[in-house]
Structure 1
Amino acid sequence: MRVILRNPIAEDGRDFRHSLTVGREYEVLGIEADDLRLLNDKNEPVLYDAVYFDTSAIGEPTFWVSTQGEEGERYAGPLEWTNPGYFEDWHDGITETIAGFWADLKRLYPWTAKIRGIMR
């Protein structure tokens, strides 16, 4: 699944232009509580509200595992990334997690890895 940022200003005033480019296509890396996890322009895996994007390519990867939360919210993504605290560890700079993320990204999301020039 791929999306394009159309509206960079959130209802609460947050401006996504510091981390995303209007009109740029992003591959969805996962869904958490109905938010989209994207690799932003700083190559950080961050969650964004789906309402600010148009879908440019439908269809989810077959390797995603999907669950529903207690309030019906959706969670989907690679099994490797579903452990509680995985992305918190990434953002905390845990070396093992970061290395695993980049290896998984190259293997599971070759379009994003190629577009971003990620060859680590």
Structure 2
Amino acid sequence: HETTSEALSYLVWTAAMRDNIVNKANKGEITVKGEKDAASETVGDTAKAWKTMEATLIPDTQAGIMQKQQLSATYSDEWEQIELYPTDMLNGNNAVNPIHQYFTSAYGSDKGLYLMHWLA
């Protein structure tokens, strides 16, 4: 998890740096020496990198939390011996979310929060 999120964050950062250098070179603000002339390059890598990160790290909206004030939990036991797996899913507690009405009134228009899971 950490490696993936760090790698994609680095991808967006390097794409933004590249687009910034190319923009400045296209405006004549800087000269970049190398095999290619930076002024002939195009920008747009930041948008591509961001779309890659969105597609990879932002999960699809799960309507359950926005639709239901009462949710149930299931769990499965953990065992020391691998031979005991897979285990059955067991019913957990049912609970009422006391802030559901406030949450849905604040965020209900977009059917959930648009967040990368490690920022939530």
Normalised TM-score (structure 2): 0.22
| Structure with higher strand content | 1
| Structure with higher helix content | 2
Task: Tell which structure's C-alpha radius of gyration is larger.
Answer: 2
